[in-house]
Chain A
Amino acid sequence: MPTVHDWINNPLGIVEDIFAQSNCSPDWETKVLEYFKEKLKDNEAASWVPSLNDVPVHYLKANSLVKFRCFIQDMFDPEFYMGVYETVDPSSKSKVLRSGKYKDVAECGHQVDLNTKNAVTLERQTFYCVPIPGESPWVKESYSCSNPARVVPSTSYAPCRHKRSYEEDEDMETQPHKQKEQLAGPQGTTDIHGSGDPKRLETEAPSSLSNAASGCSSPLDLNFPLPGEKGPACLVKVYEEWELFKVNDILEVYGILSVDPVLSVISEDKDSSLVDPMDCTESVEEQRVHCPPASLVPRLHMLYAHRLQHNNPLLPPAASEASSGFLNDVVSVRGELLGYLTHVLLGDALAAEYLILHLISTVYARRDVLPLGKFTLNLSGCPHNSTYTEQLYRVIQQLIPSSFRLGMSLHNMNNLRLVPRKDYTANRLLSGVLQLAPNTSLFLDETQLEQGQLDSTGVRNITALGNLISWQKVDYDFNYHQMEFPCNINVLIASEGKSLLPFLTPCLPCTPHSPPQCDCHVRLQPQLAPPNLEQYISTIQVSLSPSLLNKFRIYLSLLRTLDYSISEEVTKAVEDDFVEMRKDDPQSISAEDLHRLLVVARLLSLSVGHTTLSRDRWMRAKHLETLRTNRTEQQKCVNGNEP
């Protein structure tokens, strides 16, 4: 496949060719983009492109085409570069025009004429991208398995392979395509456990290596939103339509990898350079952030990128394509999932029902400040001082593509940076835990909270959580002002009693009768009390067949993308119902309750694959709500003083 090798291994050559042919006509750029778009249209072809997510940077060839599934963490200032420049061959004095696009450095084996009339200065934008925060391990494995492009390591590097057997090694290097066929099928997940582990070790190798390398000066903070994240960070250079991208978008970028050591040399050279007044533009910190060594933070020159609707590898990128086929057996899958979650929630079917609704909820629209469709769930009654919440999180992590568990211990609240903050010395946005991609699940573990004092950071953090829950927005701290970033994060709160969170937020009334601002509060009523929780949960998990697990995953991701409407007729019925309920007892149901009922009804309909609300579903939603409120009332009677 010589062609493949050409456009993957030497994309710059193609760019140069097109540039040379076009004779400086400005449409050469669109030609380049079209060429690569055409090549990547074919799904299979796209999968030949090695991915930065799975393959360590040092395995990849410099200036080859790679792809990167990433999250825009920060946007740097636009930069001007030499779009077209002229080189002079000193021997023949012949001048050649060259393109500087998709490159970090201008090659001038010859002399560069900087003052030529033909030079064109162009503008490009840099995004700082990191792997998707909180991406579940199964997503990573599944993506890397479906991507057969393995790159033969260069001879100069001897990777430290920990556990890999000789056979596997050979298998991978010599028969990449055979392996692809093996893994592409649905049985791919079974293989994960066999081969996934060593691969991951390999991926991690450079990051541990880099830590060691940079450790001698000071470790480079790659600025991941979540603590303990790993993976490559990347400076993505965007050439077209950068206005369309936003911070916190998730993208799949196809671009030319640039790891030219010159990039690092220049920054080192600066220290000893001549007295140049321009050098003081950037502080040391800024230098480190904006020009990190290319071996740690490679540059990626974007040729083609698309925004990902979801990062579920089991679904095609455009989720709607898959829906028609899957919707037929959606009810049976839902039944299975309900059963599974009921077991996990210690036999509480109502809680399991609500958990499903929570997992498929998404903010689908905003009316002025009001986010519609959010469904924050508070599971109270989780046993304190046990690993139950952790087990529960594991189960959820297994089901959804990205999630994060935030233990709300006092220490965490007082010390973690939840809200991203602009660091003006380094001129970058310091990430915080709440900088998450859309549809990420945030699991707040309130059982870890103990008595003690919150300091000012703690109060700010809790306020931020409260804002997130009630308005689905995070106010990023820009020191002189705050900027509001709307978000779409599913918050699940596991607590012992009722969650304290919404009540501490300043914008919410703190009166005993105030409506709960967590959209929904379910008290867990365990039906069973297994002696060993850990063992119990793991037994349930093991008994789940991988194919069923995959069905669950598809189910949860797919239903989020469905459209939904309410017919005139049902609208009327709902109105009548509401009036009727208010007539009996105006205190029993408020506008807030109707809001919640409508969300529950919506999610309930979607969870069985219906895109319109039917009368039955409405009744079912009301029934569910009654069950839930009754349980809360009961609890109130038992506990007496619980708010």
Chain B
Amino acid sequence: MSSPSATPTKGKRTRGSNPPTPTQSEPVVFMKLMVVINGEICCSLPAPLNEIDMSSPLTYGTPSSRVEGTPRSGLRGTPVRQRPDLGSVRKARQVDLHSDHANGPEAPASEHSVGQKLVIWGTDVNVGTCKEKFQINVVGDPVLNVNCEHLQSFDADLYRQLIAYPQEVIPTFDMAVNELFFERFPDSVIEHQIQVRPYNALKTRNMRNLNPEDIDQLITISGMVIRTSQLIPEMQEAFFRCQVCAFSTRVEVDRGRIAEPAVCRNCNTTHSMALIHNRSIFSDKQMIKLQESPEDMPAGQTPHTTVVYAHNDLVDKVQPGDRVNITGIYRAVPIRLNPRQSNVKSVYKTHIDAIHFRKTHEKRLHGLDEEAEEKLFTEERVRTLRELAAKPDVYERLSSALAPSIYEHEDIKKGILLQLFGGTRKDFSQTGRGGFRAEINILLCGDPGTSKSQLLQYVYNLVPRGQYTSGKGSSAVGLTAYVMKDPETRQLVLQTGALVLSDNGICCIDEFDKMSDSTRSVLHEVMEQQTLSIAKAGIICQLNARTSVLAAANPVESQWNPKKTTIENIQLPHTLLSRFDLIFLMLDPQDEAYDRRLAHHLVSLYYQSEEQLEEEFLDMAMLKDYVAYARSYIEPRLSEEASQALIKAYVDMRKIGSGRGMVSAYPRQLESLIRLAEAHAKVRFSDKVETIDVEEAKRLHREALKQSATDPRTGFVDISILTTGMSATARKRKEELAQALKRLIQSKGKVPTMKYQQLFDDLRAQSDVAITKDMFEEALQALTDEDYLTVTGKTVRLL
């Protein structure tokens, strides 16, 4: 860190100059400041940075070469682009700065620091400029984005100045950057001088917190773009010509006004100056309406909106519907005095001059934007969350806090809880496997009126990015995405549906069974590959839909038939069913103890006061934070014992079935187990998946299996019900029947054709179990598949 004593002679220089910094200060700077160029490329890459770091003393050149350069000459004619976002600063700056120094209580200190900090700033930007040369040639956008948070950790006072006087400080930054850049790369040709764009100022503010004290300060607020205007040409410099002597003059716009020269300086004719439009200089400007994002809003109030002006290349950077963080200067338009009126309206109009846009959800379709996803937790909150996590019964606590108004179904709640946390995201794309699903899908099926819808509603309200749809009411496009022609711009716009919208969230689908087949088919891809491929009206793309699906289905016969398998009860294709990690049955248990507890629960619901309830359960906000924290900070990995336990569990599962000649587990089940174990570790805020997690995952998985994959004929758990839609016993029986039929036909000798009905009757007579027509047809079909016979109408022909 440079101190005034280190550069005593340069300390009081004007802002334009750039005194060298002691080289030893540089590493500090590099460490603390990360410079992001053009919002995309970050120069924190270690290798080049070190290189520059090492070489920087060499590239500094002699001090004299810099001293002579005023900012203008040093930049050798690269056009200065005006910064309308900073207002009419070029004129006012000097004055304003001086007046600041004069008035401010810490005047001497601040003046001192302006010169001095600039140095540090400059050295720091050094890196940026190095990178920039590299960048600018490629990108061609001479913009330097600076994260204010880094600036703050580097020097709080400089940061304070930036926040308080952005209109003065940012141009100073600009100067520093440009001087350094052109000094380093005197030969580079860029479109205009480099502009500094700070972002992430202070704490990201809520629109609701803006108050009059923020006027003319640098602020960052988040919100959603709701409307953008057309491009507005705004005059920056007016060109006047005298109509008498053709003398021309330029007048700069000052605070939105042009001082029209009343007298021609050349010929002294009054009122002869006329504005020449096409020689005046205009800049682009766009009005953007920003609305508070729905998460920031207190309940029961309507969202606030703010007007934002974007200038020059920021125009058309955002579209309506985008979630953005905007850094800019908050302004109140001064009241104009109208000489014709004795009274003035006392209301200021406010707007924000945008300096930097940062789309919060920009990367959502491409990958995780870690920084934007991060939810900010206060230290205190983190401590309470940690405390909660340390409790041994945290898992039970959380699961009972989930939808407390819904009674019992503890295992289902635990399953949903694990779904909320999700597994760890893994990337196997290098080994060709692609992403590995981390989301847990759950299907609830069961009797009507067992509060499935309520559970879904609860989850939908709990998770930040939940979507709630009903199978009956949604079409394939409603779930995925559709292409729409914007009525105004005539552009094709991709509108995303529920599944894409709940990327990184949970998509709750009610009445899953009532969904049409075509709609359901899109779920196949989403539920395993976690992507959504679109090929419509000239748009072909693959969207990420890393969503967990929580679905609810009703049995076909309105009441669950315990004599049938899950597949038969809900009539869903097994290909889809096997994609659910957990399938729970919600049945009416019909026993007395249960009834009693249920009654007690319901009655207490109706007379307990609100406060009592608060005490009894964790509140929803706590649960929300807990989940959000775990999701963003905890990434559990399998420990050695845990992986052994998983292997053992899987082998055991396969063994159960193999004894009876059927397979009771598939690799999909192993993956489910891993996900569940990871989620359980997340619940404990543990970075390691341990044996207890595996145990719980096994238990839950078994519970769910016991309920949904039990073969009603044998009473054994049989996973093939879910994977092939038919239990192994049923398959065996089918096989036997086909063989019996074959034997029957063979016993008849060499007859080429047979009557269908005749054969059926013969088979029935021969068999000791009842054979239905369906079974017979299945057997025939099986033989047809073997190319043994063909069925044409009422005759069976041997081949």
Binding site for B on A (CB under 8 A): 74-75, 77-82, 85, 100, 103-109, 112, 114, 121-123, 243, 246-248, 260, 262-263, 265-266, 269, 276-278, 280-281, 365, 367-370, 372, 422, 424-425, 427, 429, 463, 471, 478-481, 483, 485-486, 506-515, 564-566, 571, 574-575, 578-579, 582-583, 586, 590-592, 594-595, 598-599, 602
Closest Cβ of chain A to B707, distance in Å, is 19
Closest Cβ of chain B to A578, distance in Å, is 4
Shortest Cβ distance from A103 into B: residue: B346
Are B599's CB and A574's CB within 8 A?
A: yes
Given contacts A280-B229, A368-B458, A591-B598, contact A123 B211 (CB under 8 A): yes
Chain A residues whose C-beta falls within 8 Å of the C-beta of B343 in the assembled complex: 105-108, 260, 262
Closest Cβ of chain A to B799, distance in Å, is 47
Q: A599 CA to B607 CA in the complex, in Å? A: 11
Are B602's CB and A594's CB within 8 A?
A: yes
Shortest Cβ distance from A479 into B: residue: B226
Q: Can you list 30 contacts pairing A with B, beta carbon distance less than 8 Å?
A: A78-B304, A82-B348, A104-B347, A105-B345, A105-B346, A106-B343, A107-B342, A109-B342, A121-B215, A246-B300, A368-B458, A372-B605, A427-B289, A479-B226, A506-B473, A507-B468, A509-B554, A566-B607, A575-B600, A578-B596, A578-B599, A579-B595, A579-B596, A586-B588, A586-B590, A594-B598, A594-B599, A598-B602, A599-B606, A602-B606
Chain B residues whose C-beta falls within 8 Å of the C-beta of A103 in the assembled complex: 346
Q: Which listed residue (B449, B600, B602) contacts A515, Cβ 8 A?
A: B449
Chain A residues whose C-beta falls within 8 Å of the C-beta of B350 in the assembled complex: 79-80
Q: Does B104 count as interface, using CB distance less than 8 angstroms?
A: no
* Segment touching A, from B106-114, B401-409, B640-648, B788-796: B401-409
Q: A77 CA to B590 CA in the complex, in Å? A: 55
Q: A9 CA to B745 CA in the complex, in Å? A: 109
Q: A346 CA to B9 CA in the complex, in Å? A: 102
Q: Does B71 count as interface, using CB distance less than 8 angstroms?
A: no
* Segment touching A, from B327-335, B379-387, B415-423, B673-681: B327-335
Chief secondary structure at chain A's binding surface? mixed
Are A507's CB and B226's CB within 8 A?
A: no
Q: Which listed residue (B301, B351, B407, B590) contacts A281, Cβ 8 A?
A: B351
Are A368's CB and B461's CB within 8 A?
A: yes
Q: A422 CA to B227 CA in the complex, in Å? A: 12
Are A243's CB and B457's CB within 8 A?
A: no
Q: Does B232 count as interface, using CB distance less than 8 angstroms?
A: yes
Q: A424 CA to B457 CA in the complex, in Å? A: 29
Q: Which listed residue (A247, A369, A422, A513) contacts B454, Cβ 8 A?
A: A369
Are B348's CB and A281's CB within 8 A?
A: no
Q: Which listed residue (B287, B289, B599) contacts A575, Cβ 8 A?
A: B599
Chain B residues whose C-beta falls within 8 Å of the C-beta of A262 in the assembled complex: 341, 343, 345
Chain A residues whose C-beta falls within 8 Å of the C-beta of B68 in the assembled complex: none
Given contacts A369-B457, A507-B457, A575-B603, contact A114 B335 (CB under 8 A): yes
Given contacts A77-B304, A77-B305, contact A579 B514 (CB under 8 A): no
Q: A379 CA to B598 CA in the complex, in Å? A: 30
Q: Does B124 count as interface, using CB distance less than 8 angstroms?
A: no
Which residues between 306 and 338 of chain B lie within 8 Å of chain A, taking CB atoms?
Answer: 306-307, 320-321, 332-338
Shortest Cβ distance from B211 into A: residue: A123
Q: Which listed residue (A100, A574, A594) contacts B346, Cβ 8 A?
A: A100
Q: A265 CA to B405 CA in the complex, in Å? A: 57
Q: A617 CA to B337 CA in the complex, in Å? A: 72
Given contacts A79-B347, A369-B454, A602-B606, contact A510 B514 (CB under 8 A): yes
Q: Give 9 closest A-B pairs by Cβ, nearest first.
A: A246-B300, A506-B470, A578-B599, A506-B473, A121-B212, A575-B599, A566-B607, A367-B405, A106-B346
Q: Does B65 count as interface, using CB distance less than 8 angstroms?
A: no
Shortest Cβ distance from A126 into B: residue: B347
Are B332's CB and A80's CB within 8 A?
A: yes
Q: A96 CA to B602 CA in the complex, in Å? A: 67
Are B301's CB and A514's CB within 8 A?
A: no
Q: A80 CA to B595 CA in the complex, in Å? A: 60
Closest Cβ of chain A to B34, distance in Å, is 33
Q: Does B297 count as interface, using CB distance less than 8 angstroms?
A: yes
Q: A277 CA to B307 CA in the complex, in Å? A: 13
Q: A162 CA to B307 CA in the complex, in Å? A: 48
How many residues on B have C-beta within 8 angstroms of the other chain's C-beta atoms?
A: 88
Are A478's CB and B303's CB within 8 A?
A: yes
Q: Mark B43-83, 1 if CB is under 8 A from A, else 0.
A: 00000000000000000000000000000000000000000
Are A82's CB and B335's CB within 8 A?
A: yes
Q: Does B772 count as interface, using CB distance less than 8 angstroms?
A: no
Are A105's CB and B595's CB within 8 A?
A: no
Which residues between 343 and 379 of chain B lie within 8 Å of chain A, taking CB atoms?
Answer: 343-351
Q: A590 CA to B211 CA in the complex, in Å? A: 54
Are A598's CB and B592's CB within 8 A?
A: no
Which residues between 408 and 452 of chain B lie within 8 Å of chain A, taking CB atoms?
Answer: 448-449, 451
Question: Which has the most chain A C-beta neighbours within 10 Å: B554, B599, B620?
Answer: B599
Q: A215 CA to B446 CA in the complex, in Å? A: 60
Shortest Cβ distance from B226 into A: residue: A424
Shortest Cβ distance from A597 into B: residue: B602
Chain B residues whose C-beta falls within 8 Å of the C-beta of A471 in the assembled complex: 457
Are A247's CB and B405's CB within 8 A?
A: no
Are A112's CB and B256's CB within 8 A?
A: no
Chain B residues whose C-beta falls within 8 Å of the C-beta of A583 in the assembled complex: 592, 595
Chain A residues whose C-beta falls within 8 Å of the C-beta of B404 in the assembled complex: 367-368
Chain B residues whose C-beta falls within 8 Å of the C-beta of A594 in the assembled complex: 598-599, 602
Q: A269 CA to B333 CA in the complex, in Å? A: 18
Q: Does B204 count as interface, using CB distance less than 8 angstroms?
A: no
Q: Does B558 count as interface, using CB distance less than 8 angstroms?
A: yes
**Given known contacts A370-B405, A422-B302, A513-B558, what 13 new A-B pairs fall within 8 Å (CB)?**
A77-B305, A79-B347, A104-B347, A246-B301, A269-B338, A367-B605, A368-B405, A486-B299, A506-B511, A510-B511, A512-B558, A571-B604, A590-B449
Closest Cβ of chain B to A289, distance in Å, is 13
Chain B residues whose C-beta falls within 8 Å of the C-beta of A81 in the assembled complex: 346-348
Closest Cβ of chain B to A627, distance in Å, is 22
Q: Does B187 count as interface, using CB distance less than 8 angstroms?
A: no
Q: A122 CA to B347 CA in the complex, in Å? A: 10
Q: Mark B285-300, 1 if CB is under 8 A from A, else 0.
A: 1010101001001111
Are B602's CB and A507's CB within 8 A?
A: no
Are B342's CB and A108's CB within 8 A?
A: yes
Q: A122 CA to B620 CA in the complex, in Å? A: 36
Closest Cβ of chain A to B489, distance in Å, is 16
Q: A316 CA to B743 CA in the complex, in Å? A: 93
Shortest Cβ distance from A117 into B: residue: B103
Are A598's CB and B234's CB within 8 A?
A: no
Shortest Cβ distance from B403 into A: residue: A368
Q: Does B132 count as interface, using CB distance less than 8 angstroms?
A: no
Are A82's CB and B346's CB within 8 A?
A: yes
Shortest Cβ distance from A278 into B: residue: B333
Are B554's CB and A429's CB within 8 A?
A: no
Chain A residues whose C-beta falls within 8 Å of the C-beta of B338 in the assembled complex: 269
Are B405's CB and A75's CB within 8 A?
A: no
Shortest Cβ distance from B605 into A: residue: A367
Are B298's CB and A591's CB within 8 A?
A: no
Shortest Cβ distance from A574 into B: residue: B603
Are A481's CB and B256's CB within 8 A?
A: no
Chain B residues whose C-beta falls within 8 Å of the C-beta of A512 in the assembled complex: 558
Q: A592 CA to B559 CA in the complex, in Å? A: 16
Chain B residues whose C-beta falls within 8 Å of the C-beta of A78 in the assembled complex: 210, 304
Are B605's CB and A579's CB within 8 A?
A: no
Chain A residues whose C-beta falls within 8 Å of the C-beta of B303 in the assembled complex: 478, 483
Are B448's CB and A513's CB within 8 A?
A: yes
Which residues between 705 and 731 of chain B lie within 8 Å of chain A, taking CB atoms?
Answer: none
Chain B residues whose C-beta falls within 8 Å of the C-beta of A479 in the assembled complex: 226
Are A509's CB and B345's CB within 8 A?
A: no
Closest Cβ of chain B to A509, distance in Å, is 5
Are A80's CB and B337's CB within 8 A?
A: no
Q: A506 CA to B509 CA in the complex, in Å? A: 10
Chain B residues whose C-beta falls within 8 Å of the C-beta of A85 in the assembled complex: 346
Are A582's CB and B592's CB within 8 A?
A: yes
Q: Does B222 count as interface, using CB distance less than 8 angstroms?
A: no
Q: A429 CA to B291 CA in the complex, in Å? A: 13
